[in-house]
Each structure stands twice: as structure tokens, then as C-alpha cells.
A = this chain, B = another copy of it.
Amino acid sequence: MNYSRKTRPTVKECVDGILNGDRVLLSRAITLIESQLSEDNQLARQIIEKIMPHTGNSIRIGITGVPGVGKSTFIESFGSFLVEHGHKLAVLAIDPSSKKSGGSILGDKTRMDTLSKSNNAFIRPSSAGASLGGVANKTRETLLLCEAAGYDVIIIETVGVGQSEIAVHDMVDFFLLLMLAGAGDELQGIKKGIMEMADGIAITKADGDNIPVAKKAKATYQNALHLFPLAESGWTAKVVTCSALENKGVNDIWQIINDYQQVVKKNGYWQEKRSQQNLSWMYASIDHYLKTRFFDHQTIKRELQEIIGQVKNGDILPLKAANELIRIFEGNAGKA
């Protein structure tokens, strides 16, 4: 949705709209978050501060898996199940690599045909951004707006590229890893580090001829998970098979997520994790601010490319180059 600056909604309009579950105003507020204009971001921050008391009441689910694992199809199937059972679902995405991959992640809403037509599902494609830190911060803020708008299940999708999973893991309650049976098996693209972060693993495409390999994969992963030390959460990751094609297994996954919630709410880990995530968020915001302030500095911008070239060619020492840029920055800090 495009709108000129004249029709930019006020903070109050956005806040009231979001709290009433108005999807158009929710979208507009998210656009303010994603905007490259700092005045838009300022408005967004005011909105977020106002809606904060109404956030925190969803289950936040991170979903990852290598390209080809069937993430969209899975989310379509899982999401439809949730909506049918009376939930309001928001689907967001983090994809720092979208420039490379052509923005395939959620880029095409039609891949989630049923969901995108539901009044109880809100699908928002990945926000663009140069740095993962920046994109992650924007997704965190978007998540809060969705919670305030009454969405009680938030899915954050990411691609299997390493750093973005860590960012997502850092903002969700439950981390679900989708895996393919057969395709190179344990050694397929997924890094073991990602597996260690998973609270649940779903073997996708467990239908037809695929059922035996899927069952075998389930057993293999279950064994593998038992070799890991017990997680801080006191929860051992569960493995299920599922088929989006035949609409099987999504209920099991929802059951597991509910079991997980029960365990960690009882042992205090739920609250502890959210506290830690808040702290991470604070540090991430500061970090993002410091880097933006430095690298968006006009003189730095002007000098950086040349200095990068000199460093790569060995014409200037990295430490000296850093000091040079810092000197420029400090000398001009007030005049940015």
C-alpha cells in the first residue's frame, strides 16, 4: 500500500487502529518501521511504545529449513489448521539474503493461497535491509505490533543460511526446524548448530513413497538429538513427520508446541528466556544505532569505498584505516 506523506496516519490513529485489529493501519505502521526515513522510524517507535502494554501474549514460533524443504507449503497447511481452530495468525519473515535469492521468501503471497485469503491470517513479506541486525530489529518491532493487533500465534520464517536463524531464535519462544528425508540425510545443508537450537523437528513431505524414508529419518534425528546435552529449557526436542499434501502431522506439531509451553511456563524458563531476549534486543538496538551512526555519517560514506580499496590492495594497514575513519568520524561527529 502506497500513501503520500500527506496521508501518513498519526500515531494515535495507528495505535487505535492496531488495538482494534485494523489490518490496513497495522500494515501502515509496519511500513513506518520498514521505512528508510528516520522520521518514519521515529513515528514507529512512538507507536510501539504506546502498544507495548498490549504485547507479549502470543506464542512466537520460528520456522527454518533449507530451500526446497517446503516451508511455504508447510506454513500454509499449519497456518490453516491454526485458523480453523480459532487462532489469529501472523506470518513474518527474516531474509537478509533476499537480495541474492531474489526475495523468494514470502515474496509471493500467492504461495500461501488459502492463508492469504483468511481474515484471521496476516502475511507480511520480509522487510528489506542492508544488515541482518537492522532487519532483525524491524522484525522484532513488527512482531509486537501484530501481538497488539490480537494475533495470538506469530510465525517468523527464515531461510537456512546460518546467521538469520540465530537472530530468529533470539526472538521466538519455540524454534521449529523443517527437514527433508532422504536428501543427503543428516548431512544436508542444515548445520548441526541449527539442529541444536531446535525445540522441534518436522520431517516434511512424508507422503506416498516417501513414508518409509521419512520414518527412518525421524528415528535418526531422534537418536541424534539424544546425544545432545539437555537444553537449558529442560525440554528435549521432539521429531515428527508431516505431509502438507495430505494435511497430516500439523496437529502433532501444534500439540508439541503446547506441551513445550506447559513445561517451560512451569519451570520458569519461558519468562527467563523472554527476559534474556529483551536484553539481547536492547544490545542489538544499541549496536545497530552505533553502526548506523558511524557508517551513515556523510564523510565516512564519502571516504569508505576508497579506504576499502586501499586496505584490500595492502596500501594501508587495516588498523590504520580504522583509525583514519574513526578520526574522521570523531572530528565531524557533531556535524553529521
A162 to B312, CA, bound (A): 27
Q: Is the CB of B52 within 8 A of A317?
A: yes
A128 to B282, CA, bound (A): 26
Query: Within residues 299 to 315 of chain A, which ones have a CB less than 8 A from any CB in chain B?
Result: 307-308, 311-314
The size bracket of the interface on A is 35 or more
Q: Which residues of B contact A283 (CB under 8 A)?
A: 322
Q: Is A141 an interface residue (CB 8 A)?
A: yes
Q: Is the CB of B290 within 8 A of A45?
A: no
Q: Is A193 an interface residue (CB 8 A)?
A: yes
Q: Is the CB of B227 within 8 A of A184?
A: yes
This chain's copy number in the assembly: 2
Q: Is the CB of B322 within 8 A of A285?
A: yes
Of B45, B191, B287, B311, the residue contacting A191 (CB under 8 A) is B191
Of B48, B287, B311, B317, the residue contacting A291 (CB under 8 A) is B287
Binds B, one of A75-83, A204-212, A239-247, A273-281: A273-281
Residue among A49, A294, A322 having the largest count of chain B Cβ atoms under 10 Å: A322
Q: Is A186 an interface residue (CB 8 A)?
A: yes
A106 to B299, CA, bound (A): 44
Q: A192-B193, A276-B312 are in contact. List 17 more A-B contacts (CB 8 A).
A: A49-B317, A49-B319, A184-B227, A186-B186, A187-B224, A191-B196, A193-B193, A278-B312, A278-B318, A279-B311, A279-B318, A282-B311, A283-B322, A285-B322, A286-B325, A286-B326, A290-B294
Contacts from A to B (Cβ < 8 Å): 45, 48-49, 52, 141, 162, 184, 186-187, 191-193, 196, 224, 227, 275-276, 278-279, 281-283, 285-287, 289-291, 294, 307-308, 311-314, 317-323, 325-326, 333
